[in-house]
Amino acid sequence: MAKPDHRADNVQRIQQAIDHTMANAREAENFLAAHEENLSEQDEQAVLEKNQRREQAIRGFRQEIQDEAEHQRME
């Protein structure tokens, strides 16, 4: 039997994911700033690409929040 769709806390959970992802991106930026001279170009590029993926994820999370808000208005 499928579980009922419990969406009451979705916005809160998505916001927590945004906050966590943003904190990770800031931490990566701080790491680069502190250790850039010790990193290979390949390692530096990997961190930058990871942060780009984080930015894409944050945009997706924000879209999910908008979708949730619209769903709640329709109920």
**What's residue 71's pLDDT?**
82
* Cα–Cα dist 51/30, whole Å: 12
Whether 74 is covered by a domain: the verdict is yes
Tens digit of pLDDT per residue, the chain (75 long)? 666 666 778 889 999 999 999 999 999 999 999 999 999 999 999 999 999 999 999 999 999 999 988 887 887
Whether 46 is covered by a domain: the verdict is yes
Whether 28 is covered by a domain: the verdict is no
Whether 45 is covered by a domain: the verdict is yes
Structural domain of residue 53, as residue ranges? 41-75
When divided into structural domains, the chain yields a total of: 1
* Cα–Cα dist 43/45, whole Å: 5
